[in-house]
Structure 1
């Protein structure tokens, strides 16, 4: 377990069934399998990716993990990890910290292969990120921002104990049009830590 950059948490993160770790070049095909699927990315803030897009995205993940969060207080900082189950990558998860005074507010995000839908992997890995946000990064609040049509993601937020706080109308511009955003939130005092492995 090697700490990445100046992180207050050691990677990989583990759950009962999953390993959340830094991506490697060997993961490109697995990430491409779901990020290249129109049905998977229709609720995400980016469109379908080709191989070059996945490689560039994964390079940004590496670059950010190599940056100490305290060295970039003028902007958001994020940690994106692939989720591995039984030796194969099944998705990826993201924890974003806001700049300066908002550094104690985290946002989580997740995307998974449809081949593992309904197995609870999104909830299990997102719960581990929430634990890291509160216990390791010292956050006082965790949010999730999602497309209101993404009911599966909303159910994950509810299973995490998050509260649906807002429905923002036409606040996100992507693919040439404005769309809505649903905001879920969880405060430190509402958080119930899970058992560490």
Structure 2
């Protein structure tokens, strides 16, 4: 039987930037506001995320508060990171890892990318880095993703990374003035390590 090793005592303070083949994941700064606003104000880009198109003032306010967290201190924390293209330095999107439960060692990922950078595999590469942050860094047992059924591109991202679809919750949430069917995906630490080992 697998041991129930707790998540890191006292939380987890990651080292930044997190470097992948093509990307840097780093804390969001005030200087990111204008670029972030360019895609967070786009109705198509934010269609399936839990906020309406944002004004520049709203982006700046969130950067100054909830999006500026860089440390996991207690369950319920979410760390948002800017995703930067290493070659050009361009901000291509942002990702978030939530620490959902200390007892269950559970987390959840979320992500949004500027439409002009779609189709390059950046979302998969960035979320893969979040998995390492969650499993290796924070000590999570399971990471989930909750995806609107209509968001097929987002579903492909987690499926590519080995997540399994665990549930389809039909019209389970009243979201942006309509009923939304959610797909629940999950990935265990053991599955992630097995996948990572098979790729080496």
TM-score if structure 2 supplies the norm length? 0.86
CA distance in 2, matches of 1:118, 1:17: 14
Q: Deviations over 1:125-174 (max 9, x none)?
A: 00000111110110010111011000001110111011011111222233
Which structure shows the bigger proportion of residues in helix conformation?
A: 1
Instruction: Count matched residues.
Output: 183
**Structure 2: gaps (5+ residues):** 1-9
Deviation at 1:6, TM superposition (A): 5.7
**Structure 1: gaps (5+ residues):** none
CA distance in 2, matches of 1:33, 1:48: 10
Aligned to 2:35: 30
Aligned to 1:165: 166
Equivalent residue for 1:69, pick from 47, 68, 72: 72
Q: 1:77–1:99: 8 Å Cα contact kept in structure 2?
A: no
TM-score if structure 1 supplies the norm length? 0.87
- Shift >6 Å, 4+ stretches: none
CA distance in 1, matches of 2:15, 2:96: 15
Aligned to 1:12: 17
Q: Deviations over 1:47-80 (max 9, x none)?
A: 1111011112222111x33xx534x34xx11000
SS of the residue 2:44 aligns to: helix
CA distance in 2, matches of 1:182, 1:12: 31
